[in-house]
A and B are shown apart, each in its own frame.
Chain A
């Protein structure tokens, strides 16, 4: 990760026979089958970050914490782009992205998929506690950190393992006169079709170069390009945007980064005013089942879950040969926003001053 991007992209795969990996370390991704499993995991990982970010975002009332809200929103948009990129990567190697099933949605509080389970992710309103979790979720890998295909301390190491596997497996396939890029081109979602308004433009994955590009896009937006604070996204029409960790750190510390700042020191730019009291006090990790005794609330919770599940169904269609289904997904996303904001304003009836909130549960 500390090397320039060009050297990463052409990194020589480790020789299969060399005993480079210590016995205790997790085994690298050894087959296309395993790569597909990890890419499905990447989809689940990217998705698992979205409900926590949305809860924080939608708990902010209109007109409050405007900059903080805009920063969180910009991260969510990029996580959605990452889901599309993960689906493209999986389709490119002949896999089948599956997002419309019960196990796809984590039950919060949850560990992130493929993580080292060092912290739980919860659905929380905008708060210091929520921001602490966001910072842990987006924590950059240390320079020279090993790729970790499972139980990864950071999301970056998980993707580093996937990137390494793409190069190694394609290299081996080429030697046999084959390729791992066997998926139909028509399954790729590209920026010029149905994807709009969301955190950049998806890359169609058809070969090693485009796969590398897509993975770098995910890694750099998340944790920064080569251990800087910026995501290096100029080719996506977004100039000098901070990587996710640093965007959250701005909120956490109440101060903006400026160009001369680096990743190891706090930001030195303008003050970023944050009002930690200006958010709906959503009870953590809402579940529809918690409100069966309050039918009016329960019905709204179930309605939200049904719409959320309908969104996953539309995405599943979009990722499996019907890219126009993304067009159906966008109105559902807006609708979910309004429903979530309404749930945030309803008293929970628990006696502790909390409000309800969206559950993000599977409800086919």
Chain B
């Protein structure tokens, strides 16, 4: 499985998988190496269509590709476009927020009632933690320079050391 992941990732730089990674990079603020390092890229890539269906997920990715192309080479322009075209969009905003939630906490949140009224209530669209790995690899732990509670033990006495990545005062 992991071999396939790597092959898929690398043989097609503009593949849908890579586009999914670039969207994730833009929405999370973590770079692609860090996202791959969680081991969850393919899990989340497969999860989306399994919950909201291929058509909705395809439209979401199409919107991202359009936005990405328009904002290419200008970070602040891209930032503005992502807000306008994706986060503020009633169809795609909830999906984008769910993607952020997945990466940071490993949790899929049931989509809002307003979204479900328009796009239908999908059977798998319930709030759940994707897996134990999704929990322990959540970006929230990296963001706060802490270890996931009850996972990835840091060792005796580690509480006396400055947090990893902490800037010196």
Report chain B residues within 8 Å CB of A341: 39
> Which positions in A face B, CB cutoff 8 Å?
61-62, 196, 277, 279-281, 294, 296-297, 299-300, 327-328, 330-331, 333-335, 338, 341-343, 345-351, 353-356
Give B65-78 as 1s and 0s: 1 = Cβ < 8 Å from A's Cβ atoms: 00000000000000
Interface size on B, residues (CB 8 A): 27
A355 touches B32 (CB 8 A): no
A347 pairs with B10, CB closer than 8 A: yes
Chain B residue contacts of A330, Cβ below 8 A: 155-158
Q: How far is the CB of A318 from chain B (nearest CB, A)?
A: 13
The distance from the CB of B78 to the nearest CB of chain A, in whole angstroms, is 18
- Beta-carbon contacts of B123-158 to A below 8 Å, as 1s and 0s? 000000000010000000000000000001111111
Q: Which residue from chain B places its CB closest to the CB of A332 in the assembled complex?
A: B155
Give residues 1-31 of B contacting A (CB, 8 Å). Answer: 1-3, 5-7, 9-11, 31
Residues of A within 8 A of B37 (CB): 300, 342-343, 345-346
Query: Which B residues, 31 to 48, have Cβ-Cβ distances below 8 Å to chain A?
Result: 31-34, 36-39
Taking a contact as CB atoms under 8 Å apart, the answer to whether B33 and A331 are in contact is no
Q: A296-B33, A342-B38 are in contact. Are A354 and B156 (CB under 8 A)?
A: no
Please, how many angstroms separate the alpha-carbon atoms of A212 and B1 in the complex? 48
Q: Which of B6, B11, B133 contacts A62 (CB 8 A)?
A: B133
B161 within 8 A of A: yes
Neighbouring A residues of B31 by C-beta, 8 Å: 296
Complex Cα spacing A277 to B2, Å: 9
CA distance A46 to B32 in the complex (A): 36
Interface assignment of B166: CB less than 8 Å from any CB of chain A: no
* Chain A positions within 8 Å of B1 at CB level: 61
Is the CB–CB distance between A297 and B155 below 8 Å?
no
